A = this chain, B = another copy of it.
Amino acid sequence: MEKFTAYNPVTLHFGKDVLNEFGNTLLQYGKKILLVYGQGSIKKTGLYDKVGNYLKEINATVIEYEGIKPNPIIQDVDVAAELGRKHKVDVILAVGGGSVIDSAKIISITIPVQHSGWDFYTGKAKPLKAVPLITILTLAATGTEMNPFAVLSNHETMVKDGYGNKLLYPAHSFLDPQLTMTVPKSHTAYGIADLIAHCLEAWFGNGDSSLGDRFIVSIIREAMDYGPQLLGDLCNYELREKIMYAATMALNGLTLQGKSSGDWGVHSVGHILSLLYDVPHGASLTIVYPAWMRLVKDRIPDRIAFLGSSLFDQQLSAAETIEKLEAFFRSIDCPVCLSGMDIPGVDKNAVYETMISNKVSGANIKLTSKDYLPLIDLFW
C-alpha cells in the first residue's frame, strides 16, 4: 500500500424519501439560496416543484440558475457565480446529475473570489473558501455527490479537465433512488458504465492494496450483476437503489485508499471525445476502455488478467479479459467503438491534435504522443 490520507466530510442521506429531511438541513446554512439545475428535466419530472415546496416551507429566498449543459462548460459557472456573488447567497443547492453538481462545486469556490472559475484549473487562482453546497442527485453515475472533484470544459481553449480540492466536498448530498426512476435506458447504461470505469481507474492506479482490490471487484460485480437487470426493469426501485449506491461508492475515495492516485488515462482520453463531439461521458469511456486496454495489454498483462479472473470467476488472460469486458459493455448497449456512436464528421486528426494539446496521459500508465495514433485507430 501507499501512504494515504482519507478524509470525506460529506453527509450522505440515502434512501426513499430522504428529501423529507432536506428543509431543516438547508436551514442550518441560511435562507438565501442559489438553486442550480440543468436544462429543464427536473421541471418535467416534477422534482422542481417538489423542491420549490420544500424551499417555500422554510421561507427561503431563491435565486435560480437554469441551463447547465450535459457536458458542463465554464461560461455557465462564471455567470452563475456572478449571480451568487451579487445576491450574497448563503448556500448553493444543486439539483441534477454530475454536470450540475460539478458546476455547482466550482461556483461555490468562485463566488468568494474575483476570478473566472477556470483560473482554478489553470492554477491562476487558489480557492480561499467555499459557499456551502447541498446536492440532490438525479442520476447514478459520476460519484460527484460524495467527492471533491469537478470536471468542466472550456471551449475557448478546447480543454476538458478535472479539478480537485477539499473545499469541493458537498456539505450534504441527498440520494433518493426514486429520483432516478425516470432516467432513460441509454443514460442509465452510461451511468453503469461510468461507475465501472471509475473502479477501473482505481484498479489501474498507483499502488496496490489487496483489500482495495476486493472493494473494487465488489463494486464492479454489483454493477455487472444488477445493471443488466435494471436495464430490463427501469422502474424497479430496489435495482435503482443498488446502482445508485454502487455509483457513489465507486468514486468517494474508498477505492483509492492505499494508492497515491488512480490512473485516469482513459478518462482524459474520453474527455477529448466529449469535448469535440459532445459524446456522453459514460459512452466515451466504453469506447476508450477496450481500446486503451488493448494498447497497454503487453505492458501490464498480469494486472489486466487478474482483473478478469476476479470479475468472471475463471482464469482469464489479459486478452480474454478485454473481450469479456467489451462484451459486457456491448450487452448493456454502450458503444465500444466510435462508429457505434454515429457521429457525423468524426476526424481522427482533430482527435489527435486535441489529445496533444490536452497532454493526455495517465498517472500510472503513462501515455506519450506516440501512443495516440495507435490508440485512436483502436476506436474503430
A283 CB-CB contact with B under 8 Å: no
- Chain B: which residue is nearest A18 at the CB level? B3
Q: Are B241 and A1 neighbours in the complex by a CB distance under 8 Å?
A: yes
Q: Are A6 and B1 neighbours in the complex by a CB distance under 8 Å?
A: no
A8 CB-CB contact with B under 8 Å: yes
The complex places the Cα of A210 from the Cα of B249 at a distance, in Å, of 13
- Chain B: which residue is nearest A2 at the CB level? B15
Partner of A14, one of B3, B217, B238: B3
Partner of A218, one of B12, B15, B211: B211
- Chain B: which residue is nearest A166 at the CB level? B11
The complex places the Cα of A340 from the Cα of B222 at a distance, in Å, of 41
A166 to chain B, nearest CB (A): 10
Q: Are A11 and B1 neighbours in the complex by a CB distance under 8 Å?
A: no
Q: Are A4 and B14 neighbours in the complex by a CB distance under 8 Å?
A: yes
A139 CB-CB contact with B under 8 Å: no
Given A211-B222, A242-B210, is A257 in contact with B14 using a C-beta cutoff of 8 Å? yes
A133 to chain B, nearest CB (A): 16
Q: Are B11 and A5 neighbours in the complex by a CB distance under 8 Å?
A: yes
A205 to chain B, nearest CB (A): 15
Residues of A within 8 A of B (CB): 1-18, 209-211, 214-215, 217-219, 221-222, 225-226, 238, 241-242, 245-246, 249, 254, 257-258
